[in-house]
């Protein structure tokens, strides 16, 4: 156990270092974008005087490195700052949207992960059968079509023609939990369609890969049923790659869903990031990117830890 | 004249409702006409209901501060919770709002009488102090786009509790339009001569209950609103839905009652839906191709004429806007403007263009045209069509596709020839002063014409409307024949409502959605 604690600590430290590097890259990337916030906001109405007055108001007239260290200093003290655009505290701006994004991601994951694992195991069990082939074709078709297309098709069928579900996912603070589940069903199914194939096929491949190992052959020679071999003998050893794929897909559900958010007009983080980038609202862009980076790092860390725990050889290294 | 033609003229606001009804009566088509105007136009509006609106604009970076209003989501919210000094009515004239009336003898000193007994949402009465504080929010050190408009104001002084005196540095017969600019919302003075700009307290028809930038504004009727015959809905919910398909879906699945910016590609399909009603208004919005007249080869008017003559406007209108607009005549004054002059329409004439080229000694002219869809949706397509049309006049246009990002800072007013759009201005003077006067910040054609600039000053000070109309007509013809701007078309405002939404049949053209005052002017059947 002490070893695991040590490893987690090491990973966390590395994660923090990564975050620092990421923060630098984000800052540089935002600096490199053509034009700045003042010009983007004033648009056609940007005259040299208004731009200068505005820059001064926001402290944009200071050199970049100074601004970076000020920003970093504030972050370390957990002061996320305020949006340039409307002067609202970023925590207030980000809070409800992080909740919305996580809610949708969790909802989609709760649907997608069990289905993907079950279908993956079944596909391995009935390898090369009609079932295996059709499930593969269906999953690959779903992942190959762009998500907005899948979303529009679902909207057309379930919202416009049948009228069972809402076409837009408008939630507000008064929406109850069960209303949310109803409103978000279409977006969650869309996300399930685009993430399921990856997890399912990885499950299938990992299990099939192990099926050729000598110890599985031994189990089969002992006369065990195929189902038992797969669930008890193959699956535990196939967990590491499966966990990693699930982690990547969970991260995708959080950081990569902007298209689905736009199609369903769901107020999530992606929309906030896109708006902020196009307006060059640097503080919000930086914090949103940091949130995404933290998500990736945390999920990967979790996946690593779980893989190690699932593997006795890594748990007890000689 | 056929009835259909008459109906089109009416719907495009080329003729008034009275003219339309008279014409329809002459054609024996009064029943049809009543259907177009909508029976409720003659019935009293009904109170109640929640109007749900989806606007194709809105950003998480929006703010309630009037100095930052810039897109249709916040502008429609603005007109729903704020009042201004005056309001532009459907004839394009300015009518009273918080200014009960105004007086001027020389168009230089304006005395404004503030309406008595009007209440802000916080219960405070609107007085001269509030007007002054609201104007000062846009003067001096500020990023407000209204700042340059108010540079003509030398002083604003209080003359009693309900009188404000504006002294201008030069006469401006249109000052009440400027003073009613949508940015200059009248909000309560906090006691020190400033307004609390982000508090969201106005004197408008609805009170803000909930506001999430780029997402949703939710408002309830102001119980003490002074206009007793307006603001019929109980509640108004204004959503921001950027995606055009999502907006359309929201309307046909009855999630909302009104959507703006209907996708022109699918508008005919939308018209077939049983619950949707599509309407359009000719507004001030126009698309342009400004040439820098200070840069070769555009400094030669023969070249400019050649280029103006080598564009088939009808085809551009039909392909880019699918006919939902009017062709332009190389000047920015819309047919909806009260000073619009009926000049001869410029047509596609490659032969005449060749003649101008020869006169300039520029046969085989090659020019670059910069375009991006940031300029207007379909700008790149329009530029490519232009290239095809100009080829027949022996002109080679090289279409340069620019990035959307940074278009206004790097391309517009920098490249010699580019695509651009203008949402237009309420008055001819305002439009010309903003983009055609020699010293204007946004004189994007860098055009300096002595006679034009002289007329501009004279017309601004002229109080005789007949004389002004003559002057503006001459100015429009100067811009048309000498200016650096190609105006291919005016874009209609196209919006759709559910069948239960009603209005009195007269829609203002100064903004989309009845001058953005739908929340106070419309009602449910």
Q: How confident is the model at residue B41 (pLDDT cuts 50, 70, 90)?
A: very low
- Residue B197 · residue B65 · CB < 8 Å: yes
The alpha carbon of residue A290 and the mean position of all alpha carbons in its chain are separated, in whole angstroms, by 13
Chain B within 8 Å of A43 (Cβ-Cβ)? Answer: yes
Contact A261, A271 (CB under 8 A): yes
Contacts for A246 with CB less than 8 Å, ≥ 6 apart: A113, A199, A303
Determine contact: B406 vs chain A, CB below 8 A. Answer: yes
**Using one digit for the tens of pLDDT, what is the confidence trace for B188-208?**
999 898 999 889 999 999 999
Distance from CA of A30 to the nearest CA of B (A): 13
pLDDT in tens, A116-167: 989 988 888 888 889 889 988 988 888 888 888 888 888 889 988 888 888 8
CA distance A188 to chain B (A): 17
Query: Which 105-124 residues of chain A touch chain B by CB within 8 A?
Result: none
Residue B42: beta bridge partners? Answer: none
pLDDT > 90 fraction of chain A, expressed in percent and rounded: 7
Decide if B315 contacts B322 (C-beta within 8 A): no
Which residues are CB-neighbours of A183 under 8 A, at least 6 positions away? A166, A169, A170, A171, A175
Which of A:151-170 have CB within 8 Å of B? 152, 155, 159-160, 163, 166-168, 170
- Give the lowest-confidence range in A84-88, A158-162, B350-354, B507-511: A84-88
Buried residues in A162-190 as b, exposed as e (16+ CB within 10 A) = eeebbbbbbbeeeeeeeebeebbbbbbbb
Q: Which of A34, A54, A265, A285 to mutate to test the interface with B (most CBs of B within 10 A)?
A: A265
The larger pLDDT score, comparing residue B156 to residue A68, is at B156
Q: What span, in angstroms and rounded, lies between the C-alpha atoms of B97 and B78?
A: 15
Give pLDDT tens digits for A44-67: 556 677 777 777 777 777 777 888
Question: Does residue A41 register a pLDDT over 70?
Answer: no
Backbone angles phi, psi at A141, to 5 degrees: -65, -45
Q: Is the pLDDT of residue A23 over 90?
A: no
State the pLDDT at residue B26. 65
A114-128, B18-32, B137-151, B380-394: range with lowest mean pLDDT? B18-32
B481 interface with A at CB cutoff 8 Å: no
Residues of A in contact with B253 (CB under 8 A): 159-160, 163, 166-167
**pLDDT tens digit sequence for A233-254:** 888 888 888 888 888 888 888 8
Q: Which residues of B touch A267 (CB under 8 A)?
A: 212, 214-215
pLDDT digits (tens, 9 = 90+) for B129-138: 999 999 999 9
CB A4 within 8 A of CB A308: yes
pLDDT category at B9 given cuts 50, 70, 90 is low
pLDDT digits (tens, 9 = 90+) for B243-283: 888 899 899 888 899 999 898 888 888 898 888 999 988 88
Q: What is the mean pLDDT of residues B149-176?
A: 91
Q: What is the pLDDT of residue B404?
A: 80
Which positions in chain A touch B255 (Cβ < 8 Å)? 166-168, 170
Contacts of B249 in chain A (CB under 8 A): 155, 159-160, 167-168
pLDDT score, position A44:
55
pLDDT at residue A262 above 80?
Answer: yes
Quick one: B83 exposed, middle or buried, by C-beta within 10 A (0-12, 13-18, 19+)?
A: buried
Predicted pLDDT of residue B475: 94
ipTM over 0.90: no
Is pLDDT at B40 greater than 50 in this prediction?
A: no
CA angle B164, B166, B169 (to 5 degrees): 170
Fill in the DSSP letter of residue B23: H
Residues 233 through 262 of chain A touching chain B, CB cutoff 8 Å: 262
Give the pLDDT confidence score for residue B518 in this predicted structure. Answer: 93
Rg (CA), chain B: 23
Nearest Cα residue in chain A from B413: A44
Residue B31 pLDDT more than 80? no
Per-residue model confidence (pLDDT) at position B39: 41
Q: How far is A180 from chain B (nearest CA, A)?
A: 16
**Sheet with B109-114: strands ordered across:** B99-103, B109-114, B163-168, B153-158
Token representation of residue B27: 């054609």
For B305-323, give the DSSP string: HHHHHT--HHHHHHHHSTT
- Asked whether residue B15 carries a pLDDT value surpassing 80, the answer given is no
Task: Residue B198: list chain A partners with CB under 8 A.
Answer: 86-87
Q: Name the token pair of B349.
A: 């004439």
The rounded distance, in Å, linking the Cα atoms of B62 and A62 is: 25
Backbone phi, then psi, for A89, in 5-degree steps?
Answer: -60, 140
Q: What are the chain B neighbours of A168 within 8 Å (beta carbons)? A: 239, 241, 246, 249-250, 255
Helices in B337-464 by DSSP H: which ranges? 350-360, 379-391, 407-410, 428-435, 450-461
Residue B34, min C-alpha distance to chain A (Å): 32
pLDDT tens-digit series, residues B373-413: 888 888 999 999 999 999 999 999 999 999 887 787 788 88
Best B52, B59, B213 member to test A by mutation, with max A CBs in 10 Å, is B59
For residue B517, give every residue at least 6 positions away whose Cβ sits within 8 Å of its Cβ, in sequence order, or none.
Answer: B79, B87, B508
Q: Where are the alpha helices (DSSP H) in B301-427?
A: 301-309, 313-320, 350-360, 379-391, 407-410
Do A159 and B441 make contact, defined as CB atoms within 8 angstroms? no
| pLDDT, mean of residues B364-376 | 90
> Does A29 lie at the interface with B, CB-CB under 8 angstroms?
no
Instruction: Identify which of A38, A45, A263 has the shortest CB distance to residue B246.
Output: A263
Q: With a CB-CB cutoff of 8 Å, which residues 325-344 of chain B face chain A? A: none
- Residues paired with B240 in a beta bridge: B55
CA distances for B342 relative to B362, B412, B469, B472, B477, angstroms? 32, 30, 11, 11, 10
Do residues A200 and A116 touch, judged by C-beta distance below 8 A?
yes
- The alpha carbon of residue A161 and the mean position of all alpha carbons in its chain are separated, in whole angstroms, by 31
The DSSP output letter for B40 is G
CA distance A70 to chain B (A): 22
Distance CA A157, CA A149 (A): 12
Instruction: Please report, rounded to a whole number, the percentage of residues in chain A having pLDDT higher than 70.
Output: 95
Rg (CA), chain A: 24
Chain A residue at shortest CA distance from B246: A263
Beta strand pairing call for B94-96 and B86-88: antiparallel
CB atoms within 10 A of CB A32: 7
Q: What is the pLDDT of residues A8-22, one digit of tens each?
A: 888 888 888 988 898
Q: Does A84 touch chain B (CB under 8 A)?
A: yes
Residue B296, pLDDT > 80, answer yes
């Amino acid at each position: 156990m002490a070893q695991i604690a040590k490893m987690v600590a090491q990973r966390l430290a590395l994660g923090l270092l990564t975050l620092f590097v990421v923060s630098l890259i984000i800052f540089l990337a935002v600096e490199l974008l053509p034009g700045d916030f003042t010009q983007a906001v004033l648009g056609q109405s940007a005259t040299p005087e208004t731009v200068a007055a505005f820059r001064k108001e926001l402290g944009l007239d200071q050199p970049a490195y100074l601004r970076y260290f000020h920003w970093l200093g504030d972050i370390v003290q957990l002061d996320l700052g305020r949006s340039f655009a409307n002067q609202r505290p970023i925590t207030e701006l980000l809070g409800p949207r992080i909740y919305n994004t996580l809610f949708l991601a969790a909802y989609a994951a709760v649907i997608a992960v069990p289905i993907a694992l079950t279908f993956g195991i079944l596909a391995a069990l009935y390898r090369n059968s009609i079932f295996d082939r059709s499930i593969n074709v269906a999953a690959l078709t779903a992942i190959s079509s762009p998500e907005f297309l899948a979303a529009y098709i679902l909207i057309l069928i379930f919202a416009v023609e049948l009228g069972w579900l809402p076409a837009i996912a408008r939630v507000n603070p008064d929406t109850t939990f069960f209303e949310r589940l109803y409103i978000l069903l279409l977006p969650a199914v869309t996300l399930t369609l685009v993430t399921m194939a990856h997890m399912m096929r990885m499950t299938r491949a990992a299990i099939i890969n192990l099926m050729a190992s000598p110890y599985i052959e031994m189990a089969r020679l002992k006369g065990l049923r195929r189902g038992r071999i797969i669930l008890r003998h193959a699956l535990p050893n196939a967990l590491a790659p499966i966990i990693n794929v699930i982690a990547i897909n969970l991260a995708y559900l959080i950081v990569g869903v902007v298209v689905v958010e736009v199609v369903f007009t769901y107020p999530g983080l992606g929309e906030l990031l896109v708006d902020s980038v196009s307006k060059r609202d640097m503080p919000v862009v930086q914090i949103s990117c940091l949130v995404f980076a933290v998500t990736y790092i945390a999920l990967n860390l979790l996946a690593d830890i779980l893989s190690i725990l699932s593997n006795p050889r890594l748990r007890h290294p000689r | 004249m056929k009835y259909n033609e008459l109906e089109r003229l009416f719907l495009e606001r080329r003729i008034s409702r009275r003219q339309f009804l008279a014409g329809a009566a002459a054609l024996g088509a009064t029943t049809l006409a009543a259907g177009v105007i909508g029976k409720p136009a003659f019935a009293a509006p009904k109170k109640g209901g929640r109007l749900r609106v989806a606007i194709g604009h809105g950003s998480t970076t929006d703010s309630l501060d009037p100095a930052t209003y810039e897109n249709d989501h916040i502008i429609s919210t603005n007109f729903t919770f704020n009042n201004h000094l005056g309001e532009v009515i459907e004839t394009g004239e300015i009518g009273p709002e918080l200014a009960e009336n105004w007086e001027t003898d020389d168009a230089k000193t304006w005395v404004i009488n503030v309406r008595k007994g009007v209440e802000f949402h916080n219960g405070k009465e609107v007085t001269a102090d509030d007007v002054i504080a609201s104007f000062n929010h846009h003067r001096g050190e500020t990023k407000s786009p209204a700042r340059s408009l108010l540079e003509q104001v030398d002083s604003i002084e209080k003359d009693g509790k309900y009188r404000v005196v504006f002294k201008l540095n030069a006469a401006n017969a249109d000052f009440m339009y400027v003073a009613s600019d949508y940015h200059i919302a009248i909000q309560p003075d906090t006691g020190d001569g400033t307004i609390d700009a982000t508090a969201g307290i106005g004197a408008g028809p609805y009170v803000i209950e909930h506001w999430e930038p780029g997402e949703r504004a939710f408002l309830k009727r102001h119980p003490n609103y002074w206009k007793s015959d307006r603001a019929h809905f109980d509640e108004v919910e204004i959503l921001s839905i950027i995606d055009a398909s999502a907006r359309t879906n929201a309307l046909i699945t009855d999630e909302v009652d009104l959507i703006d910016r209907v996708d022109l590609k699918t508008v005919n399909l939308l018209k077939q839906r049983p619950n949707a009603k599509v309407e359009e208004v000719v507004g001030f919005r126009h698309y342009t191709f400004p040439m820098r007249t200070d840069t070769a080869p555009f400094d030669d008017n023969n070249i400019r004429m050649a280029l103006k003559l080598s564009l088939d406007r009808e085809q551009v209108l039909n392909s880019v806007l699918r006919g939902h607009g009017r062709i332009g005549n190389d000047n920015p004054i819309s047919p909806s403007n009260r000073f619009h002059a009926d000049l001869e329409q410029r047509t596609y004439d490659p032969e005449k263009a060749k003649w101008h080229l020869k006169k300039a000694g520029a046969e085989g002219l090659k020019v670059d045209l910069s375009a991006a869809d940031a300029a207007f949706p379909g700008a790149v397509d329009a530029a490519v069509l232009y290239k095809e049309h100009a080829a027949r006049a022996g002109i080679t246009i090289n279409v340069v596709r620019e990035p959307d990002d940074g278009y206004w800072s790097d391309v517009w007013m920098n490249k010699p020839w580019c695509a651009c759009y203008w949402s237009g201005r309420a008055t001819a003077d305002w439009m010309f002063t903003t983009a055609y006067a020699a010293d204007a910040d946004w004189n994007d054609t860098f055009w300096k014409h002595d006679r034009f600039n002289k007329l501009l000053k004279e017309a601004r000070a002229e109080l005789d409307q007949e004389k002004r109309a003559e002057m503006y007509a001459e100015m429009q013809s100067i811009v048309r024949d000498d200016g650096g701007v190609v105006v291919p078309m005016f874009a209609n405002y196209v919006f759709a409502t559910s069948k239960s939404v009603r209005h009195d049949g007269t829609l203002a053209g100064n903004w989309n959605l009845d001058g953005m005052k739908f929340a106070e002017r419309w009602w449910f059947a």
